[in-house]
């Protein structure tokens, strides 16, 4: 099931690997955790944090040597999502290409799903 929840582009894999190499805190991170939370003007926003362990109900996606733990509460909102990393002249960041999104706010920070 985890392979259908989230896929990562090569650019996202490279960026996750890079930020994992930069982390210098204890306990060491084993990957990143992705979730959604109620926030923003459209209702929901994505969250991404370092993961130091795999929780019992997490879905684990392993791609290109990196681990992404998907919070169980986020699974139904993320099915089929592609995680990408974009670098442009004035900004860079992770981009969630989520087929479940029905609308987004003007700033692009939050979204709505049906």
Cβ neighbours for 50, distance < 8 A, ≥ 6 positions apart: 23, 25, 29, 31, 32, 33
Domains and CATH numbers, the chain: 2-113 (2.60.300.12)
Which whole number is the average pLDDT over 15-20?
94
> Would you say residue 2 has pLDDT above 50?
no
Report, in angstroms and rounded to the nearest whole number, the Rg of the chain calculated over CA atoms: 14
Q: What is the pLDDT of residues 47-106, one digit of tens each?
A: 999 999 999 999 999 999 999 999 999 999 899 999 999 999 888 999 999 898 877 766
pLDDT at 108: 60
* Higher-confidence position of 2 and 84: 84
Cβ neighbours for 58, distance < 8 A, ≥ 6 positions apart: 33, 69, 70, 71, 72
Sheet holding 101-104, edge to edge: 59-63, 66-70, 31-38, 44-51, 111-113, 101-104
pLDDT at 44: 83
> Would you say residue 46 has pLDDT above 80?
yes
């Amino acid at each position: 099931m985890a392979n259908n929840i989230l896929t990562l582009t090569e650019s996202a894999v490279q960026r996750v690997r890079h930020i994992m190499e930069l982390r210098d805190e204890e306990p060491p991170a084993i990957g990143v955790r992705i979730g959604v939370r109620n926030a923003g003007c459209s209702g929901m926003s994505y969250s991404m944090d370092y993961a130091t362990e795999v929780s019992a109900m997490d879905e684990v996606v392993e791609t290109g040597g990196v681990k992404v733990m998907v919070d169980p509460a986020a699974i139904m909102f993320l099915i089929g999502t592609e995680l990408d990393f974009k670098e442009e002249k004035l900004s860079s960041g992770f981009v969630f290409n989520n087929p479940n999104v029905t609308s987004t706010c003007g700033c692009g920070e939050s979204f709505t799903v049906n």
